[in-house]
Each structure stands twice: as C-alpha cells, then as structure tokens.
Amino acid sequence: MTLDERLYRSLYRIRRVEEEIVRVYPEDKIISPVHLSIGQEAISVAACEALDKSDVVFGSYRCHALYLAKGGDLRKMIAELYGKATGCAKGKAGSMHLIDVSAGVMGASAVVATTIPQAVGYAYALKLRGSKAIVVSFFGDGAAEEGVFHESLNFAALKQVPIVFICENNYLAIHSLLGVRHSWKSVCDLATVYGIPAERCEDMDVHDIHGKVSQAAEEIRAGRSGPRFFECRCYRWKEHVGPGEDFEAGYRTRAEADPWIANDPMRRLGEKLAASVKQRIDADVEAEIRDAFEFAERSPFPESTELYTDLFHV
C-alpha cells in the first residue's frame, strides 16, 4: 500500500468502527461508557503511521483511535466494550482503558493526565537501556491544567528522554472552553517554558502531522533531539461521552462544527484515491468490522472467579 492508502484505511477503519458503536449503543449490548474519537482520528493515524512497531504509546480515555491506529486488536477491543472475557482487558476495563502491549499500546486511563508520567517513566527506562524505541504520549488540552503535566515535562526535558508529547486540543475540557479557562491561547507555550521544542498543527492536515512526527522520531532516535511537543488542533463531532450530539447543550453550536466537518480528513484523502482502490479498502474494512462485532456477540462473559485475578495487594 502507498502512504495515502494506509492513512485512508486507518482513518476509514476507525471512523466506521465508531459509527458502528453509535449504531449498537442504544441496544445496551455495549456496557461501557464511550468517548468517541470521531472528528479527531487524523491525529492518532498520522502519528502512529510515523512510528515503528517497537515504539509505544500511552493515551487518554478517548483512546479508540489511538488503540486502532497503533495496531490494537479490533476483535479484543469490541469484546472489551461488550464486557466479554475475550476483551483486551478480559472485560474488566471497558472503553476508557484499552491496552494491547503486543502492539505497543501501553494503556489508557479515565483519570485526566495520569498516563503522562507513566509515558515519561517508560521513555526514561528506554534511555537507560540504550533502546532506539521512542514513546508517544497522547492527551487532551484539559490535561495541561494538571500539575503532573508540568512535572512530567520538566523531568522529560531535564533527562532528555525519548518521548513525543501530542496534545489533542479540541478546545474543550468536557464542556468548558479553553478561552474561558485560561489567558494563554496555545498549549505550545507551556511546553517551551521547559525548553521543549513545540509546534502547532492546524486544520487536521494528516500529511503535515505525519511529516512532523516522522522527523521528530528520526531525530530522537539518532540522538539529535530530546523530547518534542506537538499541539494538534481538532474538534470532536460527538458529545463528550456517549454516541449522540450535544449542540443544544448551550456551550457550542453546530455552525462552529460545520467547517471542521466540511474539512474531514478521511473524506478528502479518500477522494484522492482511485475508485477501485477505495472500494477495495472499504470492503475489506467492513468485513473486518462485521467479524469483530460478531466475535464480541458470541464471546462469553467473564467467570465470577475473574473478580479475584489481576489484583494488586500488599
């Protein structure tokens, strides 16, 4: 596949998985709350396409796109949403805690900013081991308000660990606009305070994001750069949590969303492909999605004994 074909396939796959989640959710088969990535997929897709298999990622609770873009097992993801024993966390974690270590998806968390220090710690361990692998930490703009964000950036810069920070800035911390919360207008400003080179990516340009992350990853691997930071402006199409829309909630309008929807990276990239190529990719993805949901449907729920496994105690 060409780069454009790989990018489009990943974008289309994530979009259609989440659209299917939207369709199924009212049936109460999915027992986990869902924070959908629809509208923001291009960031995870572009960044993960720039990574090696040995690289690892840490994410936030809005993690469907990241999990799939890095190669997480789709069957196990859908089974996890269904609470089934075949899920990626044995049905115990749900949508906000997806993990697939074999694919380099080291986990996500429902608590804002908590995976940022974990990502920095992992990157520090890689440096101490002399590994060429790198870590990418994904988080929202709300995470930049947590103390651990600043502590982690300071440590990463001080120790020059091999990490790329990616802020998916959708301007919102749940329903609170960035401009209402802070006087600063760019999350990049916070990163530069710690001496970390920071760039802003506008307009959900998948090629721009891919190019910048690819260059950063190459420079970090070669030992020419320490941490890097990218603020990617984006816009979520759905409500904060759930399968619906919330333009009547009073904190944003449909008119505000329309330009972002019209600029959909998936649609624009698909239009560049030959019709036969696009049809083949679409058909393959649709078959994979059908299989994943059928797998989740027929999988068993965990046995009661699972309540006592995978526990930490002292």
pLDDT tens for the chain, residues 1 to 314: 999 999 999 999 999 999 999 999 999 999 899 999 999 999 999 999 999 999 999 999 999 999 999 999 999 999 999 999 999 999 999 999 999 999 999 999 999 999 999 999 999 999 999 999 999 999 999 999 999 999 999 999 999 999 999 999 998 888 888 777 877 778 999 999 999 999 999 989 999 999 999 999 999 999 999 999 999 999 999 999 999 999 999 999 999 999 999 999 999 999 999 999 999 999 999 999 999 999 999 999 999 999 899 888 76
d(CA 201, CA 207): 10
Q: How are beta strands 163-169 and 176-177 bridged, if at all?
A: unpaired
Query: Which domain does 58 fall in, by range?
Result: 3-235+243-299
Q: What is the CA radius of gyration of the chain?
A: 19
pLDDT for the residue numbered 314: 67
Cβ atoms of 4 and 272 closer than 8 Å: yes
d(CA 225, CA 81): 39
d(CA 183, CA 253): 22
Structure tokens at 231: 């603020």
Assigned domain for 267 exists: yes
pTM above 0.75, yes or no: yes
Number of domains in the chain: 1
User: Identity (one letter) of the amino acid at 114?
Assistant: T
Instruction: Read off the DSSP letter of residue 137.
Output: E
Say which CATH number the domain at 23 has. 3.40.50.970
Assigned domain for 309 exists: no
Assigned domain for 19 exists: yes
Buried b (16+ CB within 10 A) or exposed e, 52-73: eeebbbbbbbbbbbbbbbbbbb
Strands (E), the chain: 56-59, 105-108, 135-140, 163-169, 172-173, 176-177, 198-201, 228-233
Structure tokens at 297: 């449907």
